[in-house]
Amino acid sequence: MLKVESLTKSFGSLVAVDNVSFEVPAGQMVGIIGRSGAGKSTLLRMINRLTDASSGRVLCDDAFATEVDVCTLKGRRLRQWRARCAMVFQQFNLVPRLAVMTNVLMGRISYHPTVSTLLMMFSDADRALAIRALQRLDMVSHGLHRADELSGGQQQRVAIARALVQEPKILLADEPIASLDLRNATIVMDSLRRINQEDGITVISNLHLLQTARDYCDRIIGMRKGVIVFDGAPAQMSEAQAREIYGSGGQDNEEEVELALGATSTGH
């Protein structure tokens, strides 16, 4: 169970995430939707602690023996939390010059002493685990290639493999398909869903398009200007609510709204 309580992040006078609260039971797949700039990325980054919250708490009871407030973690415990709360990014964030296998093994570094990892001394068990993860994403044949030789979709699959070997409880995905074509987007979203269902890993994914969230998620959280404006099952969302999430009232971005709403408004 992940509990976000009154989480707030302000950059100067701009409030990116404004007093956000929600709970995610273990094993759920949640899609966070909203326009660019709605605070979705900041929210995920605060949960993973890549960004520190201005105020509020993030409670998690299944990553450590007892329930912890993630926002207060430091040092080794913080790094352990990051490993258990894996993150996948829009731009994949692999290290381009390193081999795919090395990129995936990076998911194991928080489990070992610093010195041995700096010397790239990973155990056979780690390597076997990395191979399993790559097989899962159908990428094992590329194991010895450099990451920058791969296409975007392939890189994202490697990034998911890296997340998997972290043995996470939660997988955060920040616009995982926004840089991919339709076919690769489908492969990546299918993989996330499969990992969620087969491994019981909680998945929280930022998505730009409502239709993707409808197709893959158990639950949709809609954000607008840093505030949650919808939280419920996909079927519960009405056309009006969807428009509220994406619309700004002005006429100029009507096209953008239609695009984000996708199939829901094609007959409109």
Cβ nearer to other proteins, comparing 219 with 224: 224
- Applying CB under 8 A, the span of 56-64, 133-141, 227-235, 237-245 interacting with other proteins comes to 133-141
Cβ nearer to other proteins, comparing 136 with 219: 136
**Any contact of residue 17 with other proteins (CB under 8 A)?**
no
**Any contact of residue 52 with other proteins (CB under 8 A)?**
no
Environment class of 114 (CB within 10 Å of its CB; exposed 0-12, middle 13-18, buried 19+): exposed
**Any contact of residue 8 with other proteins (CB under 8 A)?**
no
**According to CB under 8 A, which residues from 147 to 166 bind other proteins?**
164-165
Q: How far apart are CA 107 and CA 126, in angstroms?
A: 10
**Any contact of residue 144 with other proteins (CB under 8 A)?**
yes
CB of 43 to other proteins, least distance (A): 13
User: Would strands 55-60 and 2-11 be described as parallel, antiparallel, or unpaired?
Assistant: antiparallel
Cβ nearer to other proteins, comparing 129 with 192: 129
Angle at 76 between CA 74 and CA 78, to 5 degrees: 45
CB of 137 to other proteins, least distance (A): 10
According to CB under 8 A, which one of 131, 215, 218, 243 is a site residue for other proteins?
A: 131
Angle at 194 between CA 158 and CA 175, to 5 degrees: 55
Environment class of 262 (CB within 10 Å of its CB; exposed 0-12, middle 13-18, buried 19+): middle
Cβ nearer to other proteins, comparing 37 with 232: 37
- Applying CB under 8 A, the span of 19-27, 74-82, 131-139, 209-217 interacting with other proteins comes to 131-139
Q: Please, are residues 174 and 45 in contact by the beta-carbon 8 Å criterion?
A: yes
- Applying CB under 8 A, the span of 34-42, 60-68, 80-88, 210-218 interacting with other proteins comes to 34-42
Report CA-CA distances (Å) from 195 to 98, 99, 115, 201, 204.
25, 24, 32, 7, 12
Taking the CA atoms of 106, 185, 231 and 25 in sequence, report the sign of the dihedral they define.
Answer: negative
**Any contact of residue 49 with other proteins (CB under 8 A)?**
no
According to CB under 8 A, which one of 127, 146, 193, 243 is a site residue for other proteins?
A: 127
**Any contact of residue 65 with other proteins (CB under 8 A)?**
no
Cβ nearer to other proteins, comparing 3 with 243: 243
Q: How far apart are CA 127 and CA 214, in angstroms?
A: 36
**Which element (helix H / strand E) includes 9?**
strand 2-11
**Any contact of residue 199 with other proteins (CB under 8 A)?**
yes
CB of 233 to other proteins, least distance (A): 26
Q: How far apart are CA 264 and CA 118, in angstroms?
A: 50
**Any contact of residue 140 with other proteins (CB under 8 A)?**
yes
Taking the CA atoms of 43, 208, 203 and 170 in sequence, report the sign of the dihedral they define.
Answer: negative
Binding site for other proteins (CB under 8 A): 35-37, 41-42, 101, 124-133, 135-136, 140, 143-144, 164-165, 167, 198-199, 248, 250, 253, 256
